[in-house]
Amino acid sequence: MEGPADSWLSLRQAAALVGVHPSTLRRWSNEGLLTSYRTPGGHRRFQRKALQVLIARRARLRALGGLEEMWAQDVHALIREHRPFDVAGRALEAAEATALRDYGRKLLAQIGRAAQGRYSESELERSGAGLGRGYAAWARQHDVPIEQMLAALTRVRRTMVEAALDLTESVSLEPRAVGRLLRQVHRQLDAIEMSLIAPATDSPAN
């Protein structure tokens, strides 16, 4: 270990700094959610800088109101950066993107509510089907082939999954909490894609 002695903390010191029980910190370390090192005597040592990053991220999680809200914010940022719906290398104009942003907000909100147990599976499927019809109508309006829409939604799905998995590592969340979120991501996107490739209708998104 390199650096000043006070940059490395014992298990109890680290737990006190983060504000959790030592057994919780030990479990996070065992599960690979938080890096620690062993002294020659077998005692764990945690880097203060890494713990401070963890504290800041967990504070953000609380400030945003929970896992689903933090995940949705991260997904929004990634989608703005990677622009999965830009068609054939052409950036979407503002007017073209308005409906997509609205559908995206609905999609993230519905997944979040489902992960919190506020939607049944049938309700989630219906909402996904409605969004799928909305995406299909947008594609027809802008002469975008369904294949390109499916490719864009695949990129959206990948972004959502990566954002959820990153939370597991960066905030030391329980894997099963992220697992619930990921299950709803796949259920909602499956319903959207099935509706997207169904015979065209003019029904708007729910």
Tens place of pLDDT per residue across the chain (206 aa): 444 556 899 999 999 998 888 998 888 888 777 888 899 988 999 999 888 888 887 787 677 667 778 888 888 888 888 888 776 556 677 777 787 888 888 888 888 877 777 777 788 788 888 999 988 888 888 888 888 889 989 999 999 998 888 877 666 556 677 888 888 889 889 999 998 888 654 444 45
| Prediction pTM value | 0.66
Helix %, strand %, coil % of the chain (to 5): 70, 5, 25
Where in the sequence of the chain do the CATH 1.10.490 domains occur?
65-196
Q: Which fold has domain 5-57?
A: Multidrug-efflux Transporter Regulator; Chain: A; Domain 2 (1.10.1660)
Multiple choice CATH, 65-196, 1.10.490, 1.20.120, 2.40.160, 3.40.50? 1.10.490
* Distance from C-alpha of 159 to C-alpha of 82, rounded to nearest angstrom: 9
Pinpoint the residues of the chain covered by CATH 1.10.1660.10. Answer: 5-57
